[in-house]
Structure 1
Amino acid sequence: MTTQATQAAAAPTKSRKKASQEPATAAAAAAPVEQQASPQWVHFDGFACFGIERMRGAKILGLSEPSVFTPAKDPTYKWPIDNLRDLLHFYMAGGNAFCAMGHPGTGKTMGVQQFHASLNLPLLSMSANPRTQAYHLIGRLVPNKDGGVSWVDGPVLMAARLGMSVLIDEYNVIDPGEMTGLNLLLEGRPYLVPETGELVVPRHGFRVYATCNPKDDKGLVQGRHTQDNANDERFEFSWFGYLPQEIEVQLITEMIAPYQPSLPANVLAEKFVAVANQVRKLYAGVTDDSGALDKTISTRVLRRWVSKAMSASTQGSLVESPMHYGLERAWSLSCSDEVRVAVHELVTQTFGGGDYKSSKDNLHTMQPAGA
């Protein structure tokens, strides 16, 4: 049986019952925020924004106040200078589409978010999956309360309408045929909505950001596509690698310091980072070892490992080997047994202490808490 909404969708546009061309709910909600906050365009000092000495005195245009769409600022974030340079050049040149590429956990998404947070810029974000289609990004007709259908913007068209940035995370898991539907918007050109006949002219400030893990022949990252050449040509690209060792050591030192460990915080931090970098080299296949690991320790995983290990070190006899305990909970229990054992042997060599004893080797549960 054909429903009234289906009949309305199948009918010519002029006979549809109240086929609305109004922006989506989030877009409508933006108007009061904009009126209330009334942010102004102002020039920020580059050092004040990004904490990089060589940028002191540089004037960068941003908004005086954040909005509900502005990502939260992470005061611990460390800027990879090459990626910040690329983001700045893209932004200041008025680019339309920017793709951050790199291995998992290299800070692609965080980099885009923190760039917007530093300048109080609004950013819509969505995470793609293999079932994402063009209409999820651009918009579609949905049933309304009056029995007809209304147009609802997807995040890309919404951002174009409002003049803000949009981030599509995991962009290259989407089928390439679907992404060709974005080509006009990726160039910042007007987009004609076929379903309503509305012409949406992107406002100043509209930009599309995408993050991609590289597609490789080792299959370490699954389900990635090579996008259509015409789609790729719309983007500028930046390669995001892991943080330089000295910066990552500084980041981890700051995490360790409040725990007041027996060893100096920077010495422990160097050991954590040394293990992570060795695993990364094995993962990327850049060492002389015969086989690359199938998982890596990203900065995200490293921070989780440090947090778990240092917290466990304050629990006395409750945790026998905090470094091993922390790594298991942060990462290694998800690895194959071969990888897990090999990496924990590296941890033992780096930090010293007893042999690794995995909780996974226990067939039964541990002793009851009261034992």
Structure 2
Amino acid sequence: MLYNDALRGLTYDPSLHDDLPAVQAANVDGRHYQVAKADLSTLNIAPHFRGISMAYIGTEDHPHLAGINPKFHFDDLDLDRLINVTIAREWSRADGDPRRGILIMGDKGVGKTQYLRQRLARQGIPSAVISWRPEMDAVDAIYSKTLIGGDVSIEKGVLWQAAEGGYPVVIEEIDVARPAQLVALNEIIDTGTITIPETGEVIHARRGFCVFANCNSSFTEDRHGGFAGTRSQNISVLDRFFKYTMEAPTDDAQAKFVKAMYPDVTDEDAGRYAAFMGMVRKASSPDGSGASVQGSVHRVSLGFSRRNLIDWVDMTRSFAYLEAQHISVPKYALGPIYTNVLPANERASVEHLFDLAFGVTA
């Protein structure tokens, strides 16, 4: 696991946290790490972003800490601001104030989960991830029961572990849940209080616990009608989150993202990667409109995400030796990343879009 080396130089000084009694209390409550103020500019988060937030010190071996991608480029200033405010609020709120995480909405592939987890990881903050399934009950996220020799053994689930540990939970695809099951989590999301009916045990989450979530729909409706399995959710759940819609980046922003992660990629190639991704995103639009190029409409069933983009550039670099054999390396690398899973007609469409983006002529 890659760890943010900038965290190693941080220390907790109680005298610098007189204004944050919750931070002082957290550092004597038995958790296996410390919490301290940190200047974001020293944590390699975003060149455009400055400010003070919280960092967790000593979480390098934590099982729920995401490994960082040191090349990852944070380019959504509004989301950066909201994440910072949300984390700061958790450590400054009054004890009776509700906890709040962020619901990040947006089309598949814009990088919702990756952006949030990379941001938290840069600050040393673990985040337990739940990928919600349509058949899940709320209790499945809290604990599980196993019958052993006639006795019932209760195993802590993700929400329980994070509540006791004092760190966030991220619920992926929250909009595929049955609405009543999410409503059953309202008390946990709001107050961090978990009651185990079988034992009567009540768990009060440590400071730092809050719930983040993401979804492809708009939570209360699927405007495109293309996100199979999503459900309109109860407004009472929505009210327990700050809301953010993550838009697909423009081609220019996507090119800057590529350049930031791969400085040795030429400006021209960064623009080509971005242009291709923009065309494929239109071709795979949930509303079925497709990408209209040179009088033809191209449609594909599979989107192309930022995760795919990163893998693609990496794969292109790995196959660079094929250039000597007069092989189009980016097109070749696109196979194992994306096109090999497409039906023949869609593969032909994608390869045509590639030729247009990369200036390939017959």
Answer whether TM exceeds 0.5 for this pair: yes
Superposed CA deviations along residues 170-194 of structure 1, whole A, max 9, x for unmatched, are: 2222222222211110102533222
The residue aligned with 1:5 is: none
Task: Trace 1:1-371 onto structure 2 (pairs within 5 A).
Answer: 38-56=32-50, 58-67=51-60, 68=62, 69-79=64-74, 80-94=76-90, 95-144=99-148, 147-214=150-217, 216=222, 218-253=224-259, 265-284=266-285, 289=292, 293-316=300-323, 320-353=327-360, 355=362
Superposed CA deviations along residues 150-172 of structure 1, whole A, max 9, x for unmatched, are: 33222112222332211122222
- State the alpha-carbon separation in 2 of the partners of residues 354 and 255 from structure 1: 29
Q: How big is the shift at 1:117?
A: 0.9
- State the alpha-carbon separation in 1 of the partners of residues 262 and 34 from structure 2: 39
Q: How big is the shift at 1:206?
A: 1.0
Amino acid at match of 1:166: V
Amino acid at match of 2:357: T
- State the alpha-carbon separation in 1 of the partners of residues 262 and 45 from structure 2: 21
Question: CA separation of 1:125/1:319 partners in 2, compared to 1, >3 Å: closer, same or farther?
Answer: farther
Give aligned pairs, total.
Answer: 314
Task: Determine if contact 1:113/1:123 at 8 Å carries over to the other structure.
Answer: yes
Question: CA separation of 1:296/1:196 partners in 2, compared to 1, >3 Å: closer, same or farther?
Answer: same
Which deviates more from structure 2 when the two are superposed, residues 92-101 or residues 239-248?
Answer: 239-248
Amino acid at match of 1:343: V
Structure with bigger helix share is 1
Q: How big is the shift at 1:137?
A: 0.7
Q: How big is the shift at 1:211?
A: 1.6
Percentage of pairs with the same residue: 23
Amino acid at match of 1:220: G
Q: How big is the shift at 1:99?
A: 1.3
Which deviates more from structure 2 when the two are superposed, residues 117-126 or residues 291-300?
Answer: 291-300
Q: How big is the shift at 1:218?
A: 4.6
Task: Determine if contact 1:104/1:213 at 8 Å carries over to the other structure.
Answer: yes
Question: Which protein shows a greater Rg?
Answer: 1
- State the alpha-carbon separation in 1 of the partners of residues 124 and 170 from structure 2: 15
Which deviates more from structure 2 when the two are superposed, residues 270-279 or residues 311-320?
Answer: 311-320
- State the alpha-carbon separation in 2 of the partners of residues 92 and 85 from structure 1: 11
Task: Determine if contact 1:96/1:206 at 8 Å carries over to the other structure.
Answer: no
Superposed CA deviations along residues 41-68 of structure 1, whole A, max 9, x for unmatched, are: 2221121224434434x22122222241
Amino acid at match of 2:349: A
Task: Determine if contact 1:99/1:238 at 8 Å carries over to the other structure.
Answer: yes
Task: Determine if contact 2:106/2:245 at 8 Å carries over to the other structure.
Answer: yes
Question: CA separation of 1:221/1:249 partners in 2, compared to 1, >3 Å: closer, same or farther?
Answer: same
- State the alpha-carbon separation in 2 of the partners of residues 283 and 307 from structure 1: 23
